[in-house]
Amino acid sequence: MTDQTTDQAELAPGRAAEMLESGDAQLVDVREAYEWEAGRVEGASHIPLATLPARATEIDSERPVILQCRTGARSRMATDALRASGYDAYNLEGGLERWVEDGLPLTPTDGTVATARPDNS
């Protein structure tokens, strides 16, 4: 895959929000469970990256899919894999961090972007 193809698979948060609001795309969050619990985009499906190969059939292959993680690195891997499998897949540019920086909402309303695994002691 060329850099140009990868760049075309990136969506700015504002554009992604428009597509989600209009129903033109679906959103898959590939972060870990503790990250998901801290805060997420309303309406997203949660499929952690490690489980994506086994759960890819849960994603509607007939609709564009936007993948997101905290910074966009893990979701870029997921985007590349799904595009290679024939999905119309896009990476949320800058991930959830950029989503929040751009003033877009999380759920719950007091949600945050988790940056470290919580202490389990």
Residue 110 lies in a domain: no
pTM assigned to the model: 0.91
Please identify which residue in the block is written with the tokens 């949600």.
111
| pLDDT value, residue 108 | 96
- The number of folded domains in the chain is 1
Residue 69 lies in a domain: yes
Residue 89 domain boundaries: 11-101
**Nearest by Cα to 15 from 90, 113, 118:** 90
| pLDDT value, residue 2 | 37
Residue 1 lies in a domain: no
The residue annotated as part of the active site, out of 47, 49, 65, 69, is 69
| Regions of the chain short of the pLDDT cut 70 | 1-7, 119-121
Residue 89 lies in a domain: yes
Q: Does 102 qualify as catalytic in the annotation?
A: no
| pLDDT value, residue 13 | 98
| pLDDT value, residue 4 | 39
CATH for 87: 3.40.250.10
Burial 8-43, CB ≥16 within 10 A → b, else e: ebbbebeebbebbeeeebbbbbbbbeebbebbbbee
Residue 120 lies in a domain: no
Residue 108 lies in a domain: no
